[in-house]
Amino acid sequence: KAAAYYGNEEALSPLIDRPLRDTDKLALDKVFQWFERAGFSSEQVNRWRQRVNPIDVKENRLFSEKGRIGGVIVSHQGELHTIFPRSHLLRLKRRDIGDLLHELVEIELREGSNLSEEHAHSFAAYLTEKFNLYTEFMPYAEALTIIKGDLDAIIEKNSSSRMTLREYESEIPFFPVKRTRGSFESVIRVMGQRYDKYIKVSLSENLTPRATNSDFEKFVFILQDIIVKMQRDWDWNDFNMGIVERIQIKQGSSINFSDPVVLEIPFQKIAGLSDLSTDSSEFIKRFNDLKREIFQAVIFYRMSNGSVLTKEQFQETYKNYVENSSKKTPFYPDAPQTDYRIVVPVHNEEERLEKMLQRFKDGGYLGKAFFVNDKSTDRSEEILREWEEKEGLEVLHLTENKRKEGAIRDVMEKLSAEGRLPDHVIVMDSDSFLEVIDNEKSMQEMVDQAVYHMKVEGHAAMSFLHDIYLDEKPENIWLGILQRAQYADFAALRTMNRMAAESGKMLVLNGRGGVFNSATLLQILRGMKNYDFETGDITITNEIMKQGKTIGYFDKIKVVTEEERSFKDYRAQRTRWERSFLKMLLKDWDFYQSEIKAGTSLGAIITGSLFLRFTYAAAPFYMASQIYQGQFGVGDLLAPVAFWGVINGALASTDKGVRSEGYGKRIWGWGIYNALVFSSQTIFAIYKGAYQVANSNLQEILNQRKTGSKDNAQLIDTRAVSNNEQRVGGINLNPEMLDLQLEGDFAGIQFDAQKLKSMSVTGFRPFVAQLIPIDDLSKVLDAKVSVSYAIH
């Protein structure tokens, strides 16, 4: 630490000269892009870029473990550098960026003016405080623009003579939260009149003695947090703190409709807030109650314009705002950093795998990915091994094709056995990659938001916004039509997902990309008897809902998929989808029927899907009858096209993502493309898919549904026990293992924790044992080694 402060070259050179990691480069690039947007010169930004040296704090103990770890400014070969914790650089939260800004501003002031180290530090702390406050309610680049103006002014004023911070503040007023005469006042002055507003919190005389200053100090900050959340939730850029002239805290009071607005808040809504954890459900409840009170004042302010607003008008408006499905997904500034993994099963994807891996790397989340080579027979394994060696990619190579869900389960079991399974996992297809909607946010920040949103809403899983990759200049006109037709299809699907998610449901939590509670997903995967690539996504979705758990929709992370690039592949995909829909309809009809009867949004989507398929299935018979009667015309041919075109266009045009991506006007034309493509391909897909299901799977599904019969593995095990065949698959069967079910190469064994005594086969006393590989179990039994590694 002394070497860092006093510039011992021998100690600093290894830290400063080390090459930057790719993740560090990406994080620094994002930060310095904001600086350039704010008006800092490229020369200045590049100079700063060379001065930031990320290190692992655990490896280099240059920092105090007490308090907040910031950076350390050091002198190295005549230049000032900042040695900065890379953990703070990678997560890029508001306070972390403020810490880095402090270091860079202090370096600039010490080198660019005649300020002493002490004064440079004071000015840097002052500008950092400004940045932290302004970024509560404005974008980073906008706040940095203000900081740049202040920094230039400080350097200019100190070029001829030194100026103290107090003297500078007297010229450019800036007041953080302060206490004055029994009340707390937050004054913010930024960019002229726009933010020159205030909230004043007055302490009424009839407050209970339990109220302390700390209660109200915390209340002021909570109040500001609510204002920020409301700005971001409903996109009110003109909404500032000036709408409320005064907030009176009284016993049992409510909104006072006056002009200017005076908001009276019951004391019990804020009492004890300082004693509650911000993660507790009680805190969230009180926070939302308080937010509702302020929300009333907002509506009054925005609607009344000084005129009288009736109670009925107010209640109707409040209901519309709160229940409006088009409002933004809430943003949580204080969402904690979360650990997560991205599980990606791969089977014969040599054509696009390299491209997808590069997308992961460019997005800065390759280190979070865990790929599963599901016994690929093409170059996929070779590509994955190259990335393992070159980039440290984590890959599990399977010796048997387990299908998608089986491959996902194997990875999760491996992570669980090693104690590395996080609370949440993202599951993706190998032809997809992730993007954040807000380019100023990192993937880590947005996953933090998604996971925190899941916790607040109580969801077991959430679907991301789905999009397809569009070539700017398609190879030919047919590829352009096919891609844009599929985009319109995806846009309609996004609208249906959003509709269903309002009631915590989902038609299919698409495998292209979604986040799951790890425990819930693993429990469902363990309970699946047969892994079917075609129905796996829908099976998992339905199991979550049948357990009474909810599914959400998070539109701040986008899953971009490289869809089919030929009509042949598109038709094969549609046939596969029709097979999976029919299989699940037969298997889970009781569940779907209950949704339809309950009148839920999911029930409406299922009804619409059935109606659409019956319409298309009947179309050939209708056309044939018209031809037979000699009345067939162009209108009969175009009827299915027009029917689907109207439905798809209506659904797609209501999606917010379509408008934000700039396709609002073109989507109707693309809807016509989709209607033509969909109509020409889907009729054949419906009949072919139905024939294939009836030919190979229908009888088996119906038998299982009626009788609940055991699968072949269970029947083999039961027969082996009854015939006293003591060894099947290398496992000594005994009466305590009658629940044995074979699943491929795994023996899934369920034991009752309370009733089970020691296992005669090992002498070990487990409480729950699941997923013991048969081969491995045979080896450890022969070697008389404990099987605790497979015991949870």
pLDDT digits (tens, 9 = 90+) for 605-621: 888 888 877 777 777 77
pLDDT for residue 368: 94
pLDDT for residue 150: 81
Between residues 753 and 52, the one the model is more confident about: 52
The owner of tokens 């770890």 is: 69
Average pLDDT over residues 118-127: 84
DSSP 481-517: HHHHHHHHHHHHHHHHHHHHHTTT--S---TTEEEEE
- Confidence class for position 596, pLDDT limits 50, 70, 90: confident
Q: How many CB atoms lie within 10 A of CB 204?
A: 13
- Confidence class for position 278, pLDDT limits 50, 70, 90: low
Selection from 137-141, 634-638, 684-688 with the highest mean pLDDT = 684-688
Query: How would you classify the pairing of strands 550-561 and 432-436?
Result: antiparallel
For the chain, which residues make up each domain, given as ranges? Answer: 2-165, 178-323, 340-691, 712-790
pLDDT digits (tens, 9 = 90+) for 739-767: 333 333 344 444 333 333 444 444 444 33
Between residues 159 and 401, the one the model is more confident about: 401
pLDDT for residue 583: 78
Among the listed ranges 174-183, 242-251, 263-272, 722-731, which one has the minimum average pLDDT value? 174-183
Average pLDDT over residues 703-726: 41
Answer for the pair 287, 226: CB distance below 8 angstroms, yes or no.
Answer: yes
CATH 2.60.40.10 is held by the domain 340-691: no
Burial class (CB in 10 A: 0-12, 13-18, 19+), 104: buried
Residue 546: pLDDT over 80: yes
Residue 428: pLDDT over 60: yes
Between residues 769 and 277, the one the model is more confident about: 277
Nearest to 522 by CA among 408, 418, 439: 408
The pair phi, psi for residue 251, each rounded to 5°, is: -80, 120
pLDDT for residue 74: 82
pLDDT for residue 425: 95
761 vs 632, 715, 790, 792, CA distance in Å? 74, 22, 15, 18
Average pLDDT over residues 504-530: 84
Average pLDDT over residues 417-427: 93
Distance of CA 222 to the CA centre of its chain: 25
Selection from 353-367, 434-448, 458-472 with the highest mean pLDDT = 353-367
Nearest to 219 by CA among 263, 166, 255: 263
pLDDT for residue 455: 84
Burial class (CB in 10 A: 0-12, 13-18, 19+), 70: buried
Residue 112: pLDDT over 50: yes
Average predicted confidence (pLDDT) for the chain: 69
pLDDT digits (tens, 9 = 90+) for 342-396: 999 999 899 889 999 999 998 889 999 999 999 999 999 999 999 999 999 999 9
